[in-house]
Structure 1
Amino acid sequence: MAAQSGKNMLLKLDQTGSGSFLTVAGLRSRALAFNATTVDTTDQESAGRWRELLAGGGVKRASVSGSGIFKDQASDAMIRTLFFGGTIRNWQLIIPDFGTVTGLFQIVALEFSGDHAGEVTFDLALESAGELTFTAA
C-alpha cells in the first residue's frame, strides 16, 4: 500500500439502519484499533512454566475514534441522537487502498471543546457491538 492522504480515510454512519451511509463531516482525524483478549491456559505442567494461550479464545473488539469540527448539520444531529439514545448502528471505516471495515458500533464518548479564539470541536469514540466484516479494496 502506497502512502495515502489521511483525509481520504472516511467514517460513515448508516443513518436509519437501511444501508444508507452518511459520511461524518468535519472530521480532522480518525483512528481504528483492533484488540483481542487472551485466555491463559498455563498450569503447573506447562513446559518451563511458560505461559500457554488458548488459540482462538478470548474476545475481539474494535475501537474507532475521531475528532473534528461541526460542519454538516445532518451528521452532527444524527451523532447526538445516537449517543443520547445509546443506539447501536452500522458504521463503515473506509481506508484507501486497504479496504472497508463494516459493523455494529455504539458511540461510547462524545466530547465538545472550544477555545475563546477558535472553533468548537468534538471528539467521538465508538466501540464494536458485534462481528465486523472486512472488504479489501
Structure 2
Amino acid sequence: MGAQKGKDLLLKMNDGSAFVTVAGLRSRRIAFNAETVDVTHAESADRWRELLEGAGVKRASISGRGLFKDAASDALVRQVFFNGAIASCQVVVPDFGTVEGPFQISSLEFSGEHNGEVTFDLGLESAGALSFTAL
C-alpha cells in the first residue's frame, strides 16, 4: 500500500436509512487496542512474561476534529450524543478496508477563536463487535 491522502479516511454514521459521511472533519483517527492477560507463574521459562492468547478485551476508538459544514450530519452527531445512543458507524481506510460496528460518542467538544470559525472535536468508543471488509 502506497501513500494515501488523509482526506480519504472517512467516518460515516448511520442515520437510520443510510451511512452519512460526518462532514467537515479535517483530521480523523482510528485506534485498535487489546488488553493482555498475564498468566506468568513461578515456572515460566527464565521468568519471561506469558500472555493468555485471545483472552483480553478488544476495543476501538475513533477521534476527529473539524468544522461545521453540513447541517444534516451535524444534527445527526448532536442527536446521537445527546440521546446517549449507540450508532452504527463505518470507518473507511483507503486501500485497506472498512471497519463497521456499533459506537457511542464519548466526547463532543466545541471551540472557537474570536476571529475564526467554530470547530468541534469528536470521540467515539466501540460498543460491540466490529467487522472488517477488505477493499
- TM bucket (normalised to shorter chain) is over 0.9
Deviation at 1:4, TM superposition (A): 1.2
Name the structure 1 match of 2:115.
117
- Which residue identity is paired with 1:131? A
Match for 2:83 among 82, 85, 100?
A: 85
Q: Secondary structure at the match of 1:78?
A: helix
Distance 2:116 2:22 in 1: 21
Q: Secondary structure at the match of 1:100?
A: strand
Distance 2:56 2:108 in 1: 28
- Which residue identity is paired with 1:43? H
Mapping for residues 55-134 of structure 1, pairs under 5 Å: 55-134=53-132
Superposition TM-score, scaled by structure 2 size? 0.97
Deviation at 1:47, TM superposition (A): 1.5
Query: Alignment identity in percent?
Result: 67
Per-residue CA deviations over 1:83-121 (Å, capped at 9, x if unaligned) read 111100110000111110000000000000000111000
Name the structure 1 match of 2:43.
45
Deviation at 1:48, TM superposition (A): 1.3
Superposition TM-score, scaled by structure 1 size? 0.96
Alignment gaps of 5+ in structure 2: none
Distance 1:76 1:109 in 2: 14
Deviation at 1:21, TM superposition (A): 0.4
Runs of 4+ in 1 over 3 A off after TM superposition: none
Deviation at 1:8, TM superposition (A): 1.1
- Comparing 100-109 with 41-50, which one deviates more in the overlay? 41-50
Alignment gaps of 5+ in structure 1: none
**Matched positions, count:** 135
Q: Secondary structure at the match of 1:121?
A: strand
Deviation at 1:49, TM superposition (A): 1.4
- Alignment of 1:25 onto 2:23: yes
Q: RMSD across aligned C-alpha pairs, in angstroms?
A: 0.8
Distance 2:78 2:129 in 1: 24
